[in-house]
A and B are shown apart, each in its own frame.
Chain A
Amino acid sequence: MVIDCHMHVRKKDDDSLDEAYCDWTVEAGDLLGIDVFCVSDVRLQGDLRYEDFHEANERVKQAVARHPDRLWGYCFVNPGDPRALDEVTQRVRDEGFVGVKLYHQYRIDEPVQEPLIERCIEWQIPILMHAGHPTDPATRARQPRISDASHFANAAERYPEAIFIEGHIGGGGDWEWALKHLREAPSVLLDTSGSVVDEWLVDRCVAELGADRLLFATDMTMEGGVGKVLDADLTEADRTKILGANFEAICARRQVS
């Protein structure tokens, strides 16, 4: 099974789920051979209130209900909100979401994340987080609290049992810089998504980290996401792991009670 572990749904101007976008996503999967998309609905800028992420997760729930065989949900929260854990409980335990999605409200190694990380360890569910090491001043200014690989290494040192997924190695940051740090953080996983389709990118990830730590994803870069994994010089066994088997193994660890 080919699983895109980092994808999104989106909303319309009236804040309702953009159902057409869900359908286009599934159609793209049909064309490109992607069986399942793990989706979240994230708010990119501004204050993130409980009502915002609760509504976002409600849209994800609707999307999953629309395509139950093709879309799996992530629960997006602001870890600084006192009701974040309640939201995770509702979505993951009661509604079957596969994991937690974090954006850049806080870095992954900040103390505010600890209750959330500990819950995810207890349940053995993944935490996928928007991440990167942007080197241009404009992007850094827009995302002052973005987590980079060094923050993941810090968090993983403290919580080696956690299933951390650093988002989109092709998301535009300095991916060579990220690989240098992640070599020292063996429990951190990495997804392949992002609009950067540098030749040699996926090969280098596998060479530095091993195929067991790499997860296929698009983050909306559909043809690029598939193409860069197809072009990498990999054994078919490693390609199978990256394209879905690794994420299936993560899901098999789930112990939600």
Chain B
Amino acid sequence: MKYFEDLAIIDCNVFIGNWAFRRLRRNDAPGVLAMMDDFGIERACVASADAILYKDCQAGNEKLYEETREAPDRLWLYATLNPAYPGWERDLARCVDLGFKAVRLYPCYHGYQLGSPEAGKLIDAAIEAGLPVSTPCRVVDVRQRHWMDTTDNLDPIELIEAAEAHPKGTYLLTESILSADRDNDLWPRMRALDFYVEMSRMTACLQNNLGVLVEALGANRVLFGTGFPFKTPSPAFLKVQVLDADDEAKSWIAGRSAQRVFMEK
């Protein structure tokens, strides 16, 4: 089902790989590419689902690279790294060499704080390498967590504070619900940074926190994302479709914001 024939869509929230706690489907490269074709998605930014739970994240990154190397123009890769595990410096360098486009961090899964010195070192290294830093607030809804899964979600303020401590970086917040009022002081703090928010958990109906996000942060800071294959794609498309915003704003959300992050920096 193609929702937008005239927009170049970049999906910034996609995974490839297995999740230990629930069977996923269409979670390999052919499956993701088929979904992209079905929905008219030009490019996707993909993280390794395996790497979240591997002790050695780099094994997941390598697997992701191998699986996607036939489609480098359509699949851009997040390098999942853990600053609390040895050797991330070399892993980061390896991922840069392989052409990964951004760093992905999971503090709730890997047991550290984004404001910690160890995370700060990794963020500085990502900035030095010219890679954005991406952090999801969650992978799954904790209310349906497996008994061995985390009970914690990342508070978006943690990424904002980390970004303020390292203001030269580019930051992508995914899987968040930012339901702040228009006059909340979070918005100018984010605007002062190179800070982007992915929209798959926001809504354009009723409370319309997506509309507030666009108005308060700017459409050029909002990234389209589906969360596939953890989540089904149509909700994200419907949100953009029903959003009360002009075509210019929707084109930024659909892909131009991501293009700015991943292609123009």
Contacts from A to B (Cβ < 8 Å): 21, 24-25, 28, 31-32, 132, 134-139, 171-176, 195-201, 220-224, 226-228, 230-232
Whether the pair B144, A196 counts as a contact (CB closer than 8 A) is yes
Cross-chain contact B206 with A28 (CB below 8 angstroms): yes
On whether the beta carbons of A135 and B205 are closer than 8 Å, the reply is no
Closest 6 pairs (CB-CB, A-B): A172-B143, A227-B234, A227-B235, A223-B238, A222-B205, A28-B205
Q: In the assembled complex, which residues on chain B have CB atoms less than 8 Å from the CB atom of A31?
A: 205, 241-242
Out of B142, B144, B146, B234, name the residue touching A231 (CB < 8 Å). Answer: B234
Q: Is B25 an interface residue (CB 8 A)?
A: yes
Known: A199-B229, A226-B234, A227-B232. A136 touches B204 (CB 8 A): no
Closest partner residue, chain B, to A25 (CB atom): B206
Partner of B232, one of A135, A172, A174, A199: A199
B210 and chain A: residue at smallest CB distance? A223
CA of A201 to CA of B230, assembled, Å:
10
| Residue numbers in A under 8 Å from B151 (CB-CB) | 136-138
Besides A28-B205, A136-B151, A223-B238, 12 other A-B contacts (C-beta < 8 A): A24-B206, A28-B206, A28-B242, A31-B242, A135-B146, A196-B141, A196-B144, A197-B231, A199-B231, A199-B232, A220-B206, A223-B203
Known contacts A24-B206, A31-B205, A199-B229: does B235 contact A224 (CB below 8 Å)? Answer: yes
Chain A residue nearest to B22 in the complex (CB): A176
Q: How many A-B residue pairs have CB under 8 A?
A: 100
Hey, which chain B residues are within 8 Å of A231, CB to CB? Answer: 1, 232-234
Is B260 interfacial (CB-CB < 8 Å)? no
Which residues of A lie under 8 Å from residue B187 when comparing CB positions?
Answer: none
Tell whether, in the assembled complex, residue B206 and residue A173 are in contact, meaning their CB atoms are under 8 Å apart.
no
B106 close to chain A: CB less than 8 A: no
Number of chain B residues close to chain A: CB under 8 A: 33
Complex formed: what's the CA distance from A24 to B242 in Å?
12
Consensus secondary structure, chain B interface: loop
Tell me, in angstroms, the Cα distance from A173 to B232 when the chains sit together: 18
**B201 CB, min distance to chain A CBs, angstroms:** 8
Q: List, in ascending order, chain B residues with CB within 8 A of A138's CB.
A: 142, 151
Q: Find chain A residues with CB under 8 A from B206 CB.
A: 21, 24-25, 28, 220, 222
Contact (Cβ within 8 A) B205 A223: yes
Give Cα A196 to B143, complex, Å: 10
A221/B143 in contact, CB under 8 A: no
Known interface pairs A228-B235, A231-B234; A135-B22 also in contact (CB < 8 Å):
no
Partner of A197, one of B22, B25, B232, B242: B232
Residue of A nearest to B231 (CB): A197
Q: Are B239 and A223 in contact (CB under 8 A)?
A: yes
Complex interface bits, B192-221 against A, C-beta within 8 A gives 1, otherwise 0: 000000000101111000000000000000
Which of chain A's residues has its CB closest to B25's CB? A200
Chain B residues near A (Cβ < 8 Å): 1, 22, 24-26, 141-147, 151, 201, 203-206, 227-239, 241-242
Chain B residues within 8 Å of A230, by CB: 1, 234
CB-CB under 8 A for A175 and B144, given A28-B205, A31-B242, A200-B25:
yes
CA distance A173 to B140 in the complex (A): 11
Q: Is the CB–CB distance between B203 and A199 below 8 Å?
A: no
Q: Which residue of chain A has the shortest Cβ distance to B142 in the bound complex?
A: A136
Most buried by B among A28, A31, A176, A231: A231
Q: How far is the CA of A21 from the CA of B231 in the complex (A)?
A: 27
A32–B238 CB distance below 8 A: yes
Bound form: Cα–Cα A217–B242 in Å: 18
Chain A residues with Cβ below 8 Å from B231 are 197-199
Contacts A28-B206, A196-B141, A199-B25 known; A135 to B147 CB distance under 8 Å? Answer: yes
Bound Cα distance from A156 to B233, whole angstroms? 35
Inter-subunit contact A173/B144 (CB<8 Å): yes
Asked whether, in the complex, the Cβ of B238 is within 8 Å of the Cβ of A195, the reply is no
Which residues on B sit within 8 Å (CB–CB) of A226? 234-235, 238
Q: Of A28, A32, A135, A227, which one neighbours B144 at CB under 8 angstroms?
A: A135
B23 (CB) vs chain A CBs: closest residue = A200
Contact (Cβ within 8 A) B143 A132? yes
Question: Nearest A residue to B229 by beta-carbon distance?
Answer: A199
Taking CB as reference atom, which chain A residue is nearest B150?
A136
Please give, as numbers and ranges, the residues of chain A lying within 8 Å of B229 by CB-CB distance. Answer: 199
**Residues of A contacting B142 in the complex (Cβ-Cβ under 8 angstroms):** 136, 138-139
Whether B144 and A199, one on each chain, are in contact in the complex, defined by CB atoms closer than 8 angstroms, is no
Cα distance A227–B239 in the bound complex, in angstroms = 10
Minimum C-beta distance from A226 to chain B (A)? 6
Q: B143 near A197 (CB under 8 angstroms)?
A: no
Contact residues in A for B24 (Cβ distance below 8 Å): 199-200
A224–B201 CA distance with the chains assembled, in angstroms: 9
9 chain-A/chain-B pairs, Cβ below 8 angstroms: A135-B145, A198-B231, A199-B231, A199-B233, A221-B203, A223-B239, A227-B234, A228-B235, A231-B234
